[in-house]
Each structure stands twice: as structure tokens, then as C-alpha cells.
């Protein structure tokens, strides 16, 4: 009786270990796939979007019903987000869905005129290191028309994953967010536009 129980526990333990190894393998593969996806999309967008000369640059974002987009590989992009402190250059998708978040960070709400909110997965190649940003760090967004918008990080906060109003409230020019490690909360970075 005791030996059957021991064998059962050993088999169950081995299955748990195999499951954990399989999950770890999938996560490593998914992280590498996401990294390749953003690098390829950012490179392709850099050939399509050319930053405007300073003399042609808009001074302030203009009110717009819909943000202009560029189609690429069946998806629509609104521009490229650069975070020099983290060494990131990320294409930003126009819509936000679970499947699109696996491709690249997405516009969650708003626009350049009334406060842009961008969501990204907790991948190393996406927004995993957002919590490392500090007040004063620079963030740059180049829209598909070639306008370059400069921002400064103002604050970083943790917001409950269920607090949609908390994510959208405030008069922030740019908000970036991602899930915390456990997925319950959101690391949220608030930025202010630098007017040239």
C-alpha cells in the first residue's frame, strides 16, 4: 500500500516538473518572439516614418478625431516610442487587444492632443523595465507624420489592475503602463510634454 502511494507521488512530482519546464520553455520562446516582432516592426517603420525637420515640426499636437496610422503586416501603427534610459525603441499599435499586446505595445486610450495612454506587455523587450524610470527621464514619441514629441517622466505609481478610472484620470500628456510581476497591479509612468 505504501509503495503504491510513493510511486503515485513520484509520478505526480515528475509530471509537475515536466509541466513547469514546459511553461518555462514557452515563456522563453514567447519572450524571444516578442523581441523579434518589435525589432522588425520598428525597423520597417523607420523606413516609412521620417522625423520632420525642426522648421516643419508642429509646435503643439492638433486636435484630431482619429490618429493617423501606417499599415504594416496587417496591423495599424501610430508611431514609434523611444525610451533612451531603457534602450527601447518600440512601434506602437493603434488598437489594444490581448493578441496585439503580444506583437507590440498598444494605444490604450487617448491621443497626442488629449493625453495618450500606451499599454505594453511585461516582456523585457517591451515594458518590463518601466519601474526603473525616474522623474526627469526622457521619453520620445514620433508620430506617423514625422512629428517628434518630447516628454519628461513626472512620476511612477502602482495602480490596481481593476482601477480603469485611476489609469485614465489626471491631466497627463503621456501615460505608459504594464502589469506587475504577479499581474494584479499596473506599473504606471506619467509624463509631461516638453514644449519647444
Largest CA distance in the chain: 85
Please state whether the predicted TM-score (pTM) of the whole model is above 0.95. no
Q: What is the pLDDT of residue 36?
A: 79
**Residue 128 within a domain:** yes
**Residue 1 within a domain:** no
Are the C-beta atoms of residues 106 and 91 closer than 8 Å to each other?
no
Q: What is the pLDDT of residue 120?
A: 93
Task: Return phi, psi of residue 59, to 5°.
Answer: -80, -35
CATH assignment at residue 75: 2.40.260.10
Overall number of domains in the chain: 1
Are the C-beta atoms of residues 185 and 130 closer than 8 Å to each other?
no
Q: What is the pLDDT of residue 192?
A: 95
Count CA atoms closer than 13 A to 152's CA, side-chain side: 6
DSSP state of 115: -
**Residue 18 within a domain:** no
Chain-centroid distance, C-alpha 11: 41
Q: For 65-78, what is each residue's pLDDT tens digit?
A: 788 999 998 999 99
Range of the structural domain that residue 141 is part of: 48-193
Amino acid at each position: 500500500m505504501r509503495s503504491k502511494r510513493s510511486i503515485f507521488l513520484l509520478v505526480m512530482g515528475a509530471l509537475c516538473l515536466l509541466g513547469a519546464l514546459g511553461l518555462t520553455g514557452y515563456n522563453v520562446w514567447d519572450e524571444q518572439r516578442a523581441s523579434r516582432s518589435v525589432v522588425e516592426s520598428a525597423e520597417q517603420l523607420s523606413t516609412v516614418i521620417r522625423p520632420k525637420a525642426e522648421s516643419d515640426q508642429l509646435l503643439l499636437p492638433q486636435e484630431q478625431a482619429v490618429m493617423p496610422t501606417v499599415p504594416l503586416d496587417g496591423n495599424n501603427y501610430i508611431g514609434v516610442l523611444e525610451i533612451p534610459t531603457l534602450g527601447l525603441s518600440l512601434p506602437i499599435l493603434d488598437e489594444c487587444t490581448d493578441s496585439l499586446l503580444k506583437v507590440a505595445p498598444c494605444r490604450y486610450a487617448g491621443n497626442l492632443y488629449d493625453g495618450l495612454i500606451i499599454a505594453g506587455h511585461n516582456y523585457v523587450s517591451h515594458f518590463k523595465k518601466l519601474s526603473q524610470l525616474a522623474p526627469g527621464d526622457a521619453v520620445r514619441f514620433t508620430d506617423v507624420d514625422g512629428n517628434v514629441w518630447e516628454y519628461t517622466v513626472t512620476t511612477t505609481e502602482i495602480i490596481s489592475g481593476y482601477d480603469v478610472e485611476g489609469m485614465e484620470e489626471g491631466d497627463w500628456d503621456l501615460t505608459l503602463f504594464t502589469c506587475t510581476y504577479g499581474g494584479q497591479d499596473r506599473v504606471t509612468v506619467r509624463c509631461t510634454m516638453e514644449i519647444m
